[in-house]
Structure formats: C-alpha cells, structure tokens
Structure 1
Amino acid sequence: MSNQKNKTTTPTLDEIKMVAPALKDFTKNDLLENVWIKVWDKDELSPRDRSMITLAAVITRNIQVEMSPMLDRAIDNSVKPSEISEIITHLAFYAGWGNAMAAILPTKEVFERHKVNLSELPTSNDDLLPLDENTEAQRAKFVEDNFGSTSPGVVKNTTDYLFRNLWLRPALAPRDRSLVTVAALVAAGQVAQIPFHLNRAMDNGLTHDQASEVLTHLAFYAGWPNIFSALPVFKEVFITRQK
C-alpha cells in the first residue's frame, strides 16, 4: 500500500503546482491574497457571519480539506462552539445526515484542541424559543394545501421536527440560523427553496446588502454556477420586498 497523505490534508502551494500550476497561481494570488484578506474584511458581513456561511457551505458540500481550517477560523472569529455544534445539527436536516456526520470527527478534533467542554454544547432538552403561532399556521397551511395529499409524512415531519423544534432551538439566533440555511441552499444548488428562506432571513434581520454579500463570498466556496443559479432568485426576492 502506498504511503499517501490523509485525504483531508490541505495541499501546500508547491504540491498544487505539481498538479495544476495555474491553480497554484490562482490560489496564491487570488484566493489567499484577495479573498482571504480583502473579501473576508469587507464590511457588508462581519468575520463571524462569513465564518458561519463558509462553514455551512463546507459542511453542505462535504469539503473535508477545508473543514478543520474553517472550524479554527470560525472560533477565532467569535463563533461559539455551541453555535458550531448547532450549525452541524441544523444542517443534518438541510444538507443531509451524512454530511452532518462527516463534520463530526473534524469538529471533535478542533474542539479538543481548543479545550471545549461538553457542558458548553447545546442538548436536545434546551428550552425552545417562543413560537409565532400565526406565521407558523400560515406556513403549515400552505404546505398542507399544496403537498398534504402528495406526502403527508413529509408535511407532518416538517412541522414536528423543523418548525416546532429545530427552528426554535436557542443555540443559534433566528437570524444566524436563517443565514446558515440560505448559505447551505446556495451551496447545494437548491434554488427552489431559497425564496422562502431568504425572505425568512430578511424578516429575521438580514439586510439587503448582507444577503447580496453572501453570494459574493460563497462564489469561492460553492462555485460560480451555484451562485449564478441563485442570482435571479435573490433578485426576485429583493424586487418583491421593495414593492
């Protein structure tokens, strides 16, 4: 058996050059010197916001090579371990259980390095935030009317597991939970789900400029095609909310 590096190891610039010299130059001159310095410091989103949406993209796309560096950077940018824990829990429902499970061991190693105590992490028994009964009733009726006869199980589980439990968990503020969800949907190319969640994010306090910057930032982590698929959807939401 060949003595290969672990697949999650980030390649050095010299290693990239041995495979893709042009990619090495883009990585050094554009990603490291432009994105990592200039984009991450732009005022439209805080470093904390940028870490959360980057983590959401990395977990959603199961980008193992970026997992540990982005987890470390998130902690440096004041994302609490409890919030990282909750982001993973949340994304189990929005990116799939397998992608959430793939984030567990890298996060465990980072938490150990940062001496995170289990008592700091949210549990399944945390008291839930208050439910906006009117808004939830409208959402539930819309889903029931449209899909109740197609898949009553999905409709029921969406209400029971997501909107009467997951979305009310206090370890992530509603705006942050919405921000993570929108980032995950963009990263996964799930454009049909963006209007509801982008509107919800903006109702929860995400501004127009911040939402716009989410796309600029995620282009480097989710790829240009996913961003251009999301652009017309964001545009329509922005126009509709201005009317």
Structure 2
Amino acid sequence: MMTSHSIKRLAAACVVFTGISLSQSALAAGCLSASPLSIERKAAAHAGVISQAARQYSIDRELIQAVIAVESCFNQRAVSPAGAQGLMQLMPATAERFGVSDSFNAKQNILAGARYLQWLLKRFNGNLRYAVAGYNAGEGRIDQYGGIPPFKETQNYVKHVIAIYSRLAPEKAVTPKNTIANGTVYFPYAPLKKPANTSRQVSAGQSTATQVYQPAPLKPLTAKPGRQGIDYMRKHAPHLFRQ
C-alpha cells in the first residue's frame, strides 16, 4: 500500500516526465481558449522582455504573446517531443541561428523568437499567416507548398495563433492587404482608375463607322470577403461603397 508521501513523490516524477514529453498542443491547452486578461496575467512575468523584443524587432507585443501562448502557454521549461525548448519553443538549430546559448533563458528565448518572427514577416512580405506557419513548419515548407502546408498541426497552429492575437489586439490583427476588386489588384485602398470611353471615326468606303472603347470583361472575385474585412474596407475606403 502506498503512503501519501509515496504518492506525492510519484506525482512529482510524473510532472517532471511530462515536462519533457508533453506535446505542444497539451502544453498550450490552458491558453488556447484563455481570455485576454488571463493571457496578460500569464505573460506578466516576462512583460518587460516581451515589450523590449516588440520594440527592438518592430513587431506587435500581442503577436509575441500569442505565439508564446500556443507554443508553451508561458512554460519557461517546456520541451517538445521534437526537441523545441523554452517559451517560444526554439529548435536547437534555430537557437544556434539566432545566437542563443540557453533556450531556457527567458530573455534569450523571447528575443530570438521575436527576431525569427520579424525575419519571417519580411521573408513573406508581411503575410502574417505565412509567417506564423513558417514559425511552426519552417519557411522551406511554405515555399514547397506555395502557402500554408497541408499539415493538420500547422493549420491548427496558425488558426490558434491568429485567434489569440485577434483577441489580444483586434485592431491590429486586421492588416491591409492587396485586395482584388473588379479584377484589378490595388494597394493601398484607392479608387480604381476607370478608362475613359473614347470614340474615333473610321472610314469604310462610303460609310463611316464609330468604334467605342469597350473595357475587358471583369474577372470574378476570388472569394467573398468576410464581415470583418468589409467593415475595415468601409472605414478605410468609403468611396468604394454606395452612399
């Protein structure tokens, strides 16, 4: 029969074991549905370093928090089965790439993770979803598949990071992108230039024909914009909507 002391020792051993083998999703389970206030409280111990990283690498503090929330749920000693370590789950090769000597050092880990995020955002021309997917699967996979790879883990990872980021900073999570309207790509939101109708007289024997310029047929929209996108465009491009 086990004594209470033995049970406590066994429980402690299980905690140590799970600390080095829990999957990423299990580690982050406590953060995926957490409220913004709860995440801010979890991040409080590292708030100074997170703010420093945000300033130093010109990325949103809330984005760093969202990545940490999904990667480790702010568990500084987290280690994934694949060997990723620390708050932002740096792989050994990534840690070496960004000059990290101790991935369990919160400051080194966060600064390197933020620097990698900045690099990915530049690499993918500001495409947040591609950058987040690249953080999880590696930038090479984004190139290989021409976008977010068809891995359930990566697709869920992107969904969770964007969801938490949107809860923490809804006004920042919606970013202007190249928008397709009437088949023409334009950026930023600006009135489309409409070609002026021009007429010219063409002689054909005894008769005269008038040719009127006809614009090319409009290309179909690639996708129906979401409610949030419509509200954003209405705010920033009111000239595109009927008064």
- Relative to the length of structure 2, the TM-score reads 0.26
Greater percentage in helix: 1
Larger radius of gyration: 2
- Relative to the length of structure 1, the TM-score reads 0.26
Greater percentage in strand: 2
Q: Per chain length, whose mean CA-contact separation is higher, i.e. which structure has more relative contact order (CA < 8 Å, sep 6+)? A: 1
